[in-house]
Amino acid sequence: MTETVSPVDLTTLTSLCKRRGFLFQSSEIYGGLASTWDYGPLGVELKNNVKRAWWQHFVWGRDDMIGLDAAILMHPGVWRASGHADHFSDPLVECLQCRMRWREDQLEQPACPNCGGELSEPRHFNQMLTTNLGPVQDDASLTFLRPETAQGIFVNFNNVLTAMRRRPPFGIAQIGKAFRNEITTGNFIFRTREFEMMEIEFFVRPGEDQEWHQEWVRECVDWYSALGLREDRLRLRPHDPDELSHYSKATTDVEYRFPWGWGEIQGIANRTDYDLRAHSQHSGETLAYFDDDTREHVAPYVIEPSAGVDRAVMAFLVDAYGEEEAVSAKGKAEKRVVLRLHPALAPVKVAVLPLSRNERLAPTARRVHDLLRRSRAIDGPVQYDDAQSIGRRYRRQDEIGAPLCVTVDFDTLDDHAVTIRDRDTMAQDRVPIERLVEELRGRLAQ
């Protein structure tokens, strides 16, 4: 897992993210909180675009899917029924010499990776974070921060079935925060204790589950590819039987080749009828659908594609990062850093750049900026930048992944046309302002 395969290393990526307003360390002025990150102005746009692209594709784009947004806090009984209170744990080992703690299943050899020291016997460490509701801190007020969004879907199964008149096969999608008290964190936003998930619980007839599992694995990989992740940096990894979660009959991970090696970005599990049955038993309410063929109430099987938003963001950033030799306006060789993000994900869609900061150009450039900013057709932020040379401004936009720049120059004042400059090809085309919105929309939709 040490092979470096991406052109970007983590230090370079982290520093770009901070410099350009994608991600900041949480509570930085207090020295930071370990492995906790805040999304900056561009980061929040990118992250929202990832979630929107996912929702558009998997919810709006299909006729067998609907959405839900359940609360983070749930009745503690949910976590006893689901098995998380007893089984959601990692094997924790401690170095007897330097006292550092590790997840035993992630170690390549049975010795401390820090100092080579001997390790303690593993003990099971429950990953759920707890809190107390109300003014009294006792066992009765103890509750959990959800470690997955899935349970909010399972406990609402009957509500959704009744309200939406659905029968399997159909799925419920949800995007939301989850919390896990990870033993080891790190690799930037790859493993944190607070993160966001995009989950689907897809309910199918028992017996049809294996086919649907395969189908969902394909669907998920296709989504990442369609948004630009390189196929040679994606792979599937079926779980060995001894590493399956307590609820799973089969799980396949989608992995991405990060700078430090392969890492999971999504798991697709066959959860069988484990959760619905468990909740039926513990709550006393039968979670099932009426099968018209067998004339019986049946607990459906569940296929669960479960993706991390932050890991997807990170994979898209790593994949988009490129460095190339370019020639400056003064003919000097220089490095061009470019984020080749898919236009649907790009945090800034278009930048309007007057050729220079000049009072004759400014009113027209501002008018063009207003036109684009207010146009729903652009569907995302449009920046205005007139500081420093035009070459520098192109580089800045390349570095944040803006797919298109619109340059207003002195000819614009006469011919009412502007130049569109493409991030990836650096090609420049002249377009009349009256056709600009349409032209940009067409290019961004590609």
CB-based contacts of 31: which residues, under 8 Å, 6+ apart?
none
Q: For the CB of residue 126, give the shortest distance to ligand ATP in the complex, in Å.
A: 13
| Binding residues for ligand ATP restricted to 204-243, rule: CB under 6 A | none
Nearer to ligand ATP, 254 or 405 (CB): 254
Interface with ligand ATP includes 343 (CB under 6 A)? Answer: no
CB-based contacts of 137: which residues, under 8 Å, 6+ apart?
none
Q: Figure out which of the listed residues 197, 204, 303, 444 binds ligand ATP, where binding follows CB under 6 A.
A: 197
Q: Which residue is nearest to ligand ATP (CB)?
A: 308
Nearer to ligand ATP, 156 or 248 (CB): 248
Q: Figure out which of the listed residues 43, 308, 354, 380 binds ligand ATP, where binding follows CB under 6 A.
A: 308
Interface with ligand ATP includes 265 (CB under 6 A)? Answer: yes
Place of tokens 């909010």: 152
Full DSSP string of 210-275? HHHHHHHHHHHHHHHHHTT--GGGEEEEEPPGGG--TT-SEEEEEEEEETTEEEEEEEEEEEETHH
Q: For the CB of residue 267, give the shortest distance to ligand ATP in the complex, in Å.
A: 3
H or E element that contains 308: strand 301-308
Q: For the CB of residue 265, give the shortest distance to ligand ATP in the complex, in Å.
A: 5
Interface with ligand ATP includes 180 (CB under 6 A)? Answer: yes
Q: What is the distance between the alpha carbons of residues 3 and 229, in angstroms, rounded to a whole number?
A: 19
Nearer to ligand ATP, 185 or 356 (CB): 185
Q: Which stretch binds ligand ATP (CB under 6 A): 44-52, 191-199, 361-369, 402-410?
A: 191-199
Nearer to ligand ATP, 236 or 329 (CB): 236
Q: For the CB of residue 150, give the shortest distance to ligand ATP in the complex, in Å.
A: 9
Both structure tokens of 74: 């749930």
Interface with ligand ATP includes 311 (CB under 6 A)? Answer: yes
Question: How many residues make contact with ligand ATP (CB under 6 A)?
Answer: 15
Q: Which stretch binds ligand ATP (CB under 6 A): 65-73, 111-119, 308-316, 323-331?
A: 308-316
Nearer to ligand ATP, 252 or 407 (CB): 252
Nearer to ligand ATP, 10 or 288 (CB): 10
x/- track of binding to ligand ATP for residues 130-169 (CB under 6 A):
----------------------------------------
Q: Please tell me the total number of residues recorded for the chain in this structure.
A: 446
Q: Figure out which of the listed residues 43, 168, 171, 267 binds ligand ATP, where binding follows CB under 6 A.
A: 267
**Which CA distances in Å does 363 have to 50, 415, 432, 433, 435?**
35, 15, 17, 14, 19
Q: What angle do helix axes 309-320 and 10-19 make, rounded to 10 degrees?
A: 100
Nearer to ligand ATP, 314 or 353 (CB): 314
Between CA 312 and CA 148, with CA 128 as vertex, the angle to 5 degrees is: 40
Q: For the CB of residue 34, give the shortest distance to ligand ATP in the complex, in Å.
A: 13
H or E element that contains 129: strand 129-132
CB-based contacts of 30: which residues, under 8 Å, 6+ apart?
none
Q: What is the distance between the alpha carbons of residues 253 and 213, in angstroms, rounded to a whole number?
A: 12
Q: What is the distance between the alpha carbons of residues 262 and 234, in angstroms, rounded to a whole number?
A: 9
Nearer to ligand ATP, 166 or 239 (CB): 239
Rg from Cα positions in the chain: 25
| Binding residues for ligand ATP restricted to 288-307, rule: CB under 6 A | 306-307
Type of residue at 144 = F
Place of tokens 């909180």: 33
Nearer to ligand ATP, 50 or 307 (CB): 307
Nearer to ligand ATP, 184 or 375 (CB): 184
Q: For the CB of residue 83, give the shortest distance to ligand ATP in the complex, in Å.
A: 13
H or E element that contains 408: strand 404-408
- Sign of the C-alpha dihedral, residues 179, 182, 185, 187? negative
Interface with ligand ATP includes 264 (CB under 6 A)? Answer: yes
Q: What is the distance between the alpha carbons of residues 36 and 195, in angstroms, rounded to a whole number?
A: 9
Residue 421 β-bridge partners: 405, 428
Residues within the interface to ligand ATP (CB under 6 A): 180, 182, 191-192, 195, 197, 264-267, 306-308, 310-311
